[in-house]
Structure 1
Amino acid sequence: MSEKKEVHDLRSALELLASVPGQLIQTDIEVDPHAELAGVYRHVGAGGTVMRPTKEGPAMIFNNLKGFAEARVAIGVLASRKRVGLLLDTDPKKLGFHLANSVKNPLPPVVIDNKYARCQEVVHYADEPGFDVRKLVPAPTNTEEDAGPYITMGMCYASDPENGDSDITIHRLCLQSKDEISMFFTPGARHLGVFREKAEAMGKPLPISISIGVDPAIEIAAGFEPPTTPIGFNELQIAGALRHKPVELTKCLTIREHCIANAEYVIEGELLPNFYVREDQNTKTGKAMPEFPGYTGDAKEVPVIKVKAVTHRVNPIMQSCIGPSEEHVSMAGIPTEASIIQMIERAMPGRLQNVYAAPCGGGKYVVVIQFRKNVPSDEGRQRQAALLAFSAFSELKHVFLVDEDVDLFDMSDVMWAMTTRFQGDNDAIFIPGVRCHPLDPSSSPEFSTSIRDVGISCKAIFDCTVPYDQKQRFQRVKFMEIDEGKWAEFLKV
């Protein structure tokens, strides 16, 4: 029996995937990072809300990147729930429970000496002649309309200027010039946004590090949001719990902040106070980049990071993702599931069977809740569970409620339940005028006169569960249980 591979950084994650058939492919064909790379992976394995044709497929490494002699790009590392389960060493169907348990048992990061930090094997200072972050960091564009090259898998790390609390989140980061990167903040949804506003009110820059190419456990943990992880809760503690080992940080070289010690790339910089640019200042397309709902986001006036240095490992591997891909579903959706599980289990233990943040919602907008009614008085509690889900994750728009005999991971089965166990006049519950997410293009006064401001939605619950007193009328067809060993060769997936 081969020894189990331990994952502690991006390279060990890729080694694990390479050892499992069908989980990782590589190519030496030259690829242009401007649109072509994403265009290829759209067909190979993007999935999610990407326009068809697309599919779930393997992660991919591009070894021959036009314009970058020594760099490679890995994409799709998390673009499969099965792959995330493999990387986190757990059942893919139980990932939400696994993460919820890690939130309850946080393990804080530790700081190691710079001499042991692999991320600083090669150092480029911004005041050196010829420095250009665009030539050092091979950030792809997803489409030909993008505002510029985007870092899509950058772990942004900063600290509260008042009390020193630190946090990590993922933002869209556009390379604007040789030493400037724009940073988009979803209003009111990220801890780093609070830190930036505090620093700006003081008239001070906010030191920030961007670590690219890290342990997938960090990338998943960074997807948590309040109220599950309130202001002051560093999500690196969740990654530590997932690995049963603290995340290792090290001191940055040019700013008073830390970065992830074994990252492939680190960008050190400062978020400047009261300085904003349009994301598309170089292209004038009016577009930013493709976002998780499946549409290209509009270019915004956004804050700017002044880059102080770029450090990286020898022969670094850039990590990227396609905005609307299954990779976003994993990073946003699995923490969403964990947050909802935690909230419902506290309120009504023993009834929740599972939660699934479906790809059609990009991991944020749509969840399916599998609920078991044990006694007559449980009737109606399923709808209470849906209300709790909205409380657990404010950006959620639609909740589907299904019984325990429905496979919540199969949207065809969910739609079957909706077809045969749902009546619109009785089982649809609408909650208008609630803040949701500004990247939903239907959440706009232009789309509906009932919406007062961009980002407000009518949230909805679709109760596709059978009334408790009618369960006998809704028994699914029962097939014979077979000897799976006898028929194993025909049952292979």
Structure 2
Amino acid sequence: MSQEELYDLRKVLEELKEEPGAYHETDVEIDPESELAGVYRYIGSGGTVMRPTQEGPTMMFNNIKGFPGKRVTIGIIASRKRVGKILNYDYRYLGKLLKESVANPIEPVKVSREEAPAQEVVHLATDEGFDIRKILPAPTNTPLDAGPYITMGVVLGSDPDKTMSDVTIHRMVLEDEDTIGMYVMPGGRHIGHFQEQYEKLNKPMPITINIGLDPAISIGTTFEPPTTPLGYNELWIAGALRNQPVQLVDSLTVDEVGIARSEFIIEAEILPNERMQEDLHSNTGHAMPEFPGYNGDANPAVNVVKVKAITHRKDNPIMQTTIGPSEEHVSMAGIPTEASILDLVDKAIPGKVVNVYNPPAGGGKLMSILQIRKEREADEGIQRQAAILALSAFKELKTVILVDDDVDIFDMNDVMWTLNTRFQGDKDIIVLPGMRNHPLDPSEIPEYNPGVIRFRGMSAKTILDGTVPFDLKDKFVRAQFMEVPDWEKYLK
């Protein structure tokens, strides 16, 4: 396979340039400290970002203040329709595509350093003047951020015996010339499980942080158990999405591999049994804006990551970044969750859940809309069973809306129409109190609901059942219009 046929960030960007309105670049100088995110907030971030915002093009900033010869791109997947274009699939059924990719994985392959553009330029921590803050044009999202953040860096690590490996995305702040603060949830993700094993051995954990990637990798990376159990490396999903294996390359300074077609690779070690204050230098109390639309609290004890080397492409390397509450997070977190819910309900109640959508209103994690097909009397109630299955398996899911299969789940006006004409609050709301959810939701604190929320991260889960009772279907038939197949001719 030729280099031109291999998927990476640059190939995808070239393809997007051919799509009207999908890509825009500028040579106007921009400051990565708050200004870049502030500008893109208006142009295309969408999601739960403070209004005004909108869905807009991928942006490439070619003139980054303080970083000559380096570029920053943002928003490549800040549009579900754009994700569909990138993956060559109908955007409405991306959950089904990812579900199939999990079931048909393609494992990565190893290539030589000569075949790895990510290692064309090498900066070693032992070099005079080495400073990650001067090599990486990592933006801050707001003036209150704890520092410059890597927001689209895929962390690759393995267990101590090198029998299992995995990839995850974490928020990572550049603390000083060779230190990154990274919060690793203990055991919560596979990288966390591996890191706990290293801590018990009191050994540093070698990792690579891979930046500037084909979106197939960024989206596939965000799958979680039970869909991808311990030992399942999500790079296999990216391989299936592209029908070509992800290429890996041996690191130069740590015992781990990097993603060979990245723009940047950081080689590093997570130090055992060492923690640091996330906002050590800013002392604002804030980390960065997170997906629910609020500033995340700075963690008092993030993992300490010591950088050993940074490698990157020689030809204007691209720093890839995102805004925490943007539509980009919805694509990364929501589409894999849709796939996971479809997989789960297909096994338990096959054929009854037609499709699933995790909308921007929930940041891709907090809300799901399930499209239900009731075909017979015995199907009544199955919709609520599907909702409970989803809520049980995905603890970060807070609200499930159930609609019939004549409702467009990607049109929130249609969904809200359902809740206004096929829904009665006193009988169609199911509340499950005292369950676990996502601690970034600011309503999930004891002060908000004393006696019920005992600890931060607990929540009531809500099911809104907007499906029509099967025996009343004839009373809820939408107004039917004439089918006019050639209607578009009247627009010419």
* Displacement of 1:425: 1.6
In structure 1, C-alpha distance between the alignment counterparts of 2:434 and 2:5, rounded to whole Å:
47
Partner of 1:326: 327
Partner of 1:472: 474
Partner of 2:190: 191
Q: Is the 8 A contact 1:179 1:307 kept in 2?
A: yes
In structure 2, C-alpha distance between the alignment counterparts of 1:363 and 1:20, rounded to whole Å:
25
Partner of 2:371: 370
Partner of 2:164: 165
Residue-pair matches, total: 486
Offset from partner CA, 1:66-123 (integer Å, 9 cap, x none): 0000100000000000110011110000100000000000111111111211100000
Larger mean Cα displacement after TM superposition, 127-136 or 344-353: 344-353
In structure 2, C-alpha distance between the alignment counterparts of 1:126 and 1:207, rounded to whole Å:
15
In structure 2, C-alpha distance between the alignment counterparts of 1:488 and 1:302, rounded to whole Å:
60
SS in 1 for 2:133: helix
Q: Is the 8 A contact 2:24 2:58 kept in 1?
A: yes
Offset from partner CA, 1:442-470 (integer Å, 9 cap, x none): 11112111101111111111101000000
In structure 1, C-alpha distance between the alignment counterparts of 2:6 and 2:431, rounded to whole Å:
44
Q: Is the 8 A contact 2:187 2:196 kept in 1?
A: no
Q: Is the 8 A contact 1:107 1:241 kept in 2?
A: yes
Offset from partner CA, 1:125-170 (integer Å, 9 cap, x none): 0011000000001000000100000000001000011453000010
Name the aligned partner's letter for residue 312 of structure 2. Answer: H
* Displacement of 1:42: 0.2
In structure 2, C-alpha distance between the alignment counterparts of 1:79 and 1:247, rounded to whole Å:
23
Query: What is the RMSD computed on CA atoms of the aligned residues?
Result: 1.2
Q: Is the 8 A contact 1:228 1:392 kept in 2?
A: no
In structure 2, C-alpha distance between the alignment counterparts of 1:438 and 1:164, rounded to whole Å:
32
Partner of 1:349: 350
Alignment pair present for 1:389 and 2:411: no
Q: Is the 8 A contact 1:148 1:176 kept in 2?
A: yes
Task: Give the alignment of 1:336-485 within 5 angstroms.
Answer: 336-449=337-450, 450-484=452-486
In structure 2, C-alpha distance between the alignment counterparts of 1:372 and 1:185, rounded to whole Å:
40
In structure 2, C-alpha distance between the alignment counterparts of 1:290 and 1:484, rounded to whole Å:
47
Name the aligned partner's letter for residue 296 of structure 2. Answer: G
Alignment pair present for 1:137 and 2:139: no
Partner of 1:222: 221
Alignment pair present for 1:261 and 2:260: yes
SS in 1 for 2:24: strand
Q: Is the 8 A contact 1:266 1:311 kept in 2?
A: yes
Residue 97 and residue 486 in structure 1: after superposition, are their counterparts in 2 closer, same or farther (change >3 A)? closer
Offset from partner CA, 1:39-84 (integer Å, 9 cap, x none): 0000000000001100001100001100000100000000000110
Partner of 1:487: 489
Q: Is the 8 A contact 1:7 1:87 kept in 2?
A: no
In structure 1, C-alpha distance between the alignment counterparts of 2:292 and 2:303, rounded to whole Å:
23
* Displacement of 1:440: 0.7
Task: Give the alignment of 1:52-67 within 5 angstroms.
Answer: 52-67=51-66
Offset from partner CA, 1:366-386 (integer Å, 9 cap, x none): 000000001100000000111
SS in 1 for 2:157: strand
Name the aligned partner's letter for residue 327 of structure 2. Answer: E
Q: Is the 8 A contact 1:114 1:250 kept in 2?
A: yes
Partner of 2:309: 309
Partner of 2:10: 11
SS in 2 for 1:26: strand
In structure 1, C-alpha distance between the alignment counterparts of 2:487 and 2:431, rounded to whole Å:
48
Q: Is the 8 A contact 2:264 2:319 kept in 1?
A: yes
In structure 1, C-alpha distance between the alignment counterparts of 2:436 and 2:486, rounded to whole Å:
49
Offset from partner CA, 1:169-200 (integer Å, 9 cap, x none): 10000000000001023455311111111111
Partner of 2:208: 209
In structure 2, C-alpha distance between the alignment counterparts of 1:96 and 1:445, rounded to whole Å:
35
Q: Is the 8 A contact 1:182 1:302 kept in 2?
A: yes
Q: Is the 8 A contact 2:370 2:403 kept in 1?
A: yes
In structure 2, C-alpha distance between the alignment counterparts of 1:457 and 1:184, rounded to whole Å:
23
In structure 2, C-alpha distance between the alignment counterparts of 1:456 and 1:410, rounded to whole Å:
30
Q: Is the 8 A contact 1:153 1:212 kept in 2?
A: yes
SS in 2 for 1:487: helix
SS in 1 for 2:269: strand
Partner of 1:74: 73
* Displacement of 1:347: 1.1
Offset from partner CA, 1:414-434 (integer Å, 9 cap, x none): 111011111112111111111
In structure 1, C-alpha distance between the alignment counterparts of 2:393 and 2:489, rounded to whole Å:
44
Q: Is the 8 A contact 2:213 2:262 kept in 1?
A: yes
In structure 2, C-alpha distance between the alignment counterparts of 1:229 and 1:294, rounded to whole Å:
28
In structure 2, C-alpha distance between the alignment counterparts of 1:485 and 1:131, rounded to whole Å:
63
* Displacement of 1:487: 2.6
SS in 2 for 1:192: helix
Q: Is the 8 A contact 2:434 2:459 kept in 1?
A: yes
Name the aligned partner's letter for residue 307 of structure 1. Answer: V
Name the aligned partner's letter for residue 339 of structure 2. Answer: A
Q: Is the 8 A contact 1:139 1:320 kept in 2?
A: yes
Which ranges of structure 2 fall in alignment gaps of 5 or more residues? none
Larger mean Cα displacement after TM superposition, 387-396 or 445-454: 387-396
Residue 96 and residue 195 in structure 1: after superposition, are their counterparts in 2 closer, same or farther (change >3 A)? same
Q: Is the 8 A contact 1:7 1:16 kept in 2?
A: no
Larger mean Cα displacement after TM superposition, 418-427 or 247-256: 418-427
Q: Is the 8 A contact 1:159 1:195 kept in 2?
A: yes
* Displacement of 1:239: 0.5
Name the aligned partner's letter for residue 304 of structure 2. Answer: V
